[in-house]
Amino acid sequence: MPIAINPEHNDLADSVRSLVARVAPSEVLHDALETPIPNPPPYWKSAAEQGLQGVHLSEAVGGQGFGILELAIVIAEFGYGAVPGPFVPSAIASALISAHDPETSLLRDLASGDVIAAYAIDSGLTATRHGDGLVIRGEVRAVPAVAQASVLVLPVAIDSGEEWVVLDSHQLEIEPVRSIDPLRPLAHVRANAVEIGEDRVLSSLSRELARALMSTLLSAEAIGVARWATDTAAAYAKIREQFGRPIGQFQAIKHKCAEMIADTERATAAVWDAARAIDETRKNASAESAFEFAAAVAATLAPAAAQRCAQDCIQVHGGIGFTWEHDCNIYYRRALVLVASFGRAADYPQLVVDTATTSGMRKLNIDLDPETEKLREEIRAEVAALKAIPRGPERDTAIAEGGWVQPHLPRPWGRASDPIEQIIIAQEFTSGRVKRPQMGIAAWIIPSIVAFGTEEQKQKFLPPTFRGEMIWCQLFSEPGAGSDLASLSTKATKVDGGWRITGQKIWTTAAQYSQWGALLARTDPNAPKHNGITYFLLDMSSEGVEVKPLRELTGNAMFNTVFIDDVFVPDDCVLGEVNRGWEVSRNTLTNERVSIGNTEPPGMASLDGLVEFVRDGQLDQIAQNQAGRLIAEGHAAKILNMRSTLLTLAGGDPMPAAAISKLLSMRTGQGYAEWALSTFGTDGAIGDPESLPGKWAEHLLYSRATTIYGGTSEVQLNIIAERLLGLPRDP
């Protein structure tokens, strides 16, 4: 999905997308490979008429008065179109000037499109003070679009520090050089004792904000490239046939495309958050440390995603993708120039580490409309009343009867809360330090009982479950039917008053503690494999049920094997219709996958724990760089979760972000532990859980399960490829 979430931003993205498709079709891009486009380019006037050059600039200088987030949305669409010419460099330059003084007269001609600007992220310029101004000398290499610009924004070294200055191109010697991307020309710039006045020094622009602006906006263009590559690879995989079927049906291609969209979505979430952080800083200076971290996360992920996706797009296309005539050529070249435009790639993971371990990671909060404050006050009062009840069964009963445990459910089981009310409830219970009964596996089963259960089933099972008195397990997986649940062989035979069930279940979490289980069994062996399955509610104390703890590689027994030997289950414990259990199970599995994607499971290494470990450790730069990438990936996975929630609030579909979040969150948790244990050297062999190496070893051992349960990563990749990218299903 694009950066945009809310309707206004989607309208902006749609408008820019239409312009880009009109002014920069494929043939225009290929012509620009051979013949330099005019300056300004043909689309410049149309973009100006839409106000795109000044979308982020103050209305006082003729801009539209929006922020960096809106500019990032525009730039991402330009990246998706690989638009040639100086639009992106000029927009970044004007953003730098505006950060110094949003109403400076320098911006008026930039907002109208009458002047084109360029910038450099690094330079070899030095300055000495001369009267009220500066004298500048030195060289800046490989400056994008500088030959098309009349104004340059460049950093200069002065007094052991750095200042940003605005220079006119006629003051400089400009030497065009061949660019990897002919659509993004480059030139070296030399200054030979160039004098400027104090009014051309951007003294209010800090080095930190300048770097954040440049890297965030470059990241926006990078995710546009990554999104194009992902869409194009998936589209080709649907129609290109080999060995008698579309190549998108081959799992290798399917998974490659799924990995591309996962990389792209994670980077998009990071760019969205970095742009928001900068805008928040402009309104509130105390947020400065947060924007620096957020921008570093985006810069760690986005250029890498652009290059990987562009490369994988070529691979999916095969030989045709390696030709000069194919658009892959254009986008791969743009990706390579973008990666170089960030400067040293290692600087950004290091900045992630430095900011995370000093000022801290950016806090992810969902800001709600002020109109919700009345509702918040009402909920806060009710939570306070619950807190006044002594901890124990009485409070748990009050919480359960009030519908607070799963408030999205219809009354009387929940509160029929819309997404906004759910967020407020979660925030108020957390801030009020009132714990709701833990549902465990039941959190995934309850919605199925509410949706498909009889009134008697609801009354029997839901109240004690909400009070935390009834513990549940999920009896789905079998030795021969793990992720492929439709292949299950547990058999249920109809008898007088109920069913006789025989079979074996495995990987059943907490079965040894559970009173009830949600069980899938085959009731019609002659039906197609997704049909003929029924969903049962099984009393775990029934005669013929045997639970054997399954000791896993951690040495513990979280999972179990459950033997079901001719167990009688009455008709009133069938959930939903006979032979329609697959429909009910999909409801349960959907709840499971969303839930897993939104949390860090107990026993697994956490992002906060990783940051604490890095802060307290003695690590070399290579290890810190690796840690920075992991922190960036973990933080972006959390942003994906928040975007999923906000998409729900905006009436969108949260499932794409949720599916990708589950895949990435489990991987990053494994990565934390793998990396941490590797830093101990020989002490990494210590298994004592009381020691620090032993603690991380426990995390690592446990983490191997997280990419298996709830749907293996390989199954998740299939789901992402088929449901999000529309690739053909496996035969």
List residues with catalytic annotation.
592
Inter-residue contact 292 to 351 (CB < 8 Å): yes
- Bridge partners (DSSP) of residue 127 are 136
How far is Cα 302 from Cα 172, in angstroms, rounded to an integer?
A: 32
Which residues, at least 6 apart from 406, have a Cβ–Cβ distance to it below 8 Å?
A: 413, 414, 439, 443, 446, 447, 466
How far is Cα 42 from Cα 207, in angstroms, rounded to an integer?
A: 34
Per DSSP (E only), the strands in 412-509 are 472-475, 491-495, 498-505
DSSP per-residue codes, 399-411: HHHTT-SSTTSPT
How far is Cα 663 from Cα 712, in angstroms, rounded to an integer?
A: 9
How far is Cα 32 from Cα 20, in angstroms, rounded to an integer?
A: 15
Q: Within its chain, how far is the Cα of 608 from the centroid?
A: 17
Q: Output the six-digit token pair for 69.
A: 């987030």
Q: Output the six-digit token pair for 290.
A: 């947060």
Parallel, antiparallel, or unpaired: how do β-strands 173-177 and 186-196 relate?
Answer: antiparallel
Q: Output the six-digit token pair for 658.
A: 């949720």
How far is Cα 34 from Cα 28, in angstroms, rounded to an integer?
A: 10
Q: Which of 516, 521, 560, 522 has the alpha carbon at shortest distance from 538?
A: 516
Q: Where are the alpha helices (DSSP H) in 558-620?
A: 581-597, 607-616
Amino acid at site 174: I
DSSP per-residue codes, 126-140: EEEEETTEEEEEEEE
Which residues, at least 6 apart from 156, have a Cβ–Cβ distance to it below 8 Å?
A: 123, 125, 126, 127, 134, 136, 138, 162, 163, 164, 165
How far is Cα 237 from Cα 726, in angstroms, rounded to an integer?
A: 10
How far is Cα 515 from Cα 565, in angstroms, rounded to an integer?
A: 17
Parallel, antiparallel, or unpaired: how do β-strands 516-522 and 472-475 relate?
Answer: parallel
Query: What SS3 string covers 297-342?
Result: HHHHHHHHHHHHHHHHHHHHHHHHHHCCCCHHHHHHHHHHHHHHHC
Inter-residue contact 86 to 149 (CB < 8 Å): yes
| 728 cis-preceded (ω within 30 degrees of 0) | no
Which residues, at least 6 apart from 537, have a Cβ–Cβ distance to it below 8 Å?
A: 449, 457, 461, 516, 517, 518, 519, 569, 573, 574, 575
DSSP one-letter code for 508: -
